[in-house]
Amino acid sequence: MKNILVIGATSAIAEHCARRWATRGTKLFLVGRNAERLAMIADDLRVRAGSADCIATFVLDANALASHQPMLEAALGFLGQLDGVLIAHGSLPDQQACEASVDMMLAEIANNGVSVIALAARLANVLEAQRSGCLAAIGSVAGDRGRQSNYTYGAAKALVDRFFEGLRNRLAPAGVSVLLIKPGFVDTPMTASFAKGGPLWATPERVAGEIVAAMDSGRQVLYTPWFWRWIMLIIRHIPERIFMRMKL
């Protein structure tokens, strides 16, 4: 992939993907909300790439839906064509706070769900017309089943999951691959409030390596690390009658 658009480029997973792409000479258009951190990441990638001209940045709040089109035009202006897109922005809501505040719950759904499909809808049209490329987004294993501890986040990610299934089906004839990435527990700033460690926790470097490989190979769904596929297979198949009594 020669030209890649990264949305949510200050996320730890996206940054590690970008490092891999930069060292192999990919042209990158980085989109993020925090201008200062975006500039620091861009400088780092320029050093890794050994070139200043292959990285550009764009400051965007993904929830400002009206800014999506200008961002996309700037990206296309810089990259020429889109070989890959990674949508990586997101936030991990406090589920109990979302239960207390409907406004907060809807804001989380907007950030993790609505803004992602709004971007994907525009990008799908570009890629379909271009008849090539890979559209990838970071979903979550939490989107595979609603659980009391995390269902606001899970519902938003499930929205993205279903939307991406539909896009995949629509874009397959155009030769566009649509990838949904479902990481498990990743040791990033987003999960700062968790006690980490143990076999289920993965580093963002590892997850990024698997994402880059999955985008290269045109995969449809990536559970990362791999064992989450089997964990979620079991969790999805627990009968609802039993599941509703479980503390998950």
Partner 1 sequence: MHCWGNLDFAAPRKIVRPVSRAAALPSEPLLLARGNGRSYGDVCVNSDGTLIDMRGLDRFIAFDAQQGVLRAEAGVLLADILALIVPHGWFLPVTPGTRFITLGGAIANDVHGKNHHREGTFGRHVRGFELLRSDGQRLQCSPDDNAELFAATVGGLGLTGLMSWAEISLRPIHGPAIYQRQQRFRSLHEFFELNRQAEIESEHAVAWIDCLSANPRGILIAGDHCAGEVSVPSKKTLRVPLTPPFSPVNRATLGAFNQAYFHRPLAQGRVHYAPFFYPLDGILDWNRLYGRAGFFQYQCVLPEGSDALAEILRVIARSGEGSLLAVLKTFGTITSPGLLSFPMPGANLALDFPHRGATSSRLFERLDAVVAAAGGRLYPAKDARMPPALFRSGYPALERFCKFVDPAFSSSFWRRVMEQS
Among 24, 25, 35, 50, binds partner 1 (CB under 8 A): 50
- For the bound state, the minimum distance from the C-beta of residue 59 to partner 1, rounded and expressed in Å, comes to 15
Measured distance CA(76)–CA(113) in Å, rounded: 24
- Cis bond before residue 225 (omega within 30° of 0): yes
The residue length of the chain stands at 248
Stretch that binds partner 1, among 43-51, 111-119, 221-229, 237-245 (CB under 8 A): 43-51
Which tokens belong to 158?
């499930």
Per CB under 8 A, 122 contacts partner 1? no
Six-digit token pair at 175?
A: 């030769």
| Distance (Å, whole) CA 49 – CA 40 | 14
By CB under 8 A, tell whether 213 contacts partner 1: no
Interface segment toward partner 1; rule CB under 8 A; list 44-52, 70-78, 167-175, 176-184: 44-52
Residue with smaller CB distance to partner 1, 129 or 195: 195
Residue 194 contacts partner 1 per CB under 8 A: no
192 is a contact residue toward partner 1 (CB under 8 A): yes
Strands (E), the chain: 3-7, 27-32, 55-59, 84-87, 134-138, 177-183, 185-186, 201-202, 221-224
Report the DSSP pairing between strands 134-138 and 185-186: unpaired
Q: Is residue 37 within the footprint of partner 1 (CB under 8 A)?
A: yes
CB nearer to partner 1: pick between 165 and 205: 205
Interacting residue ranges for partner 1, rule: CB under 8 A: 12, 36-37, 40-41, 43-44, 47-48, 50, 189, 192
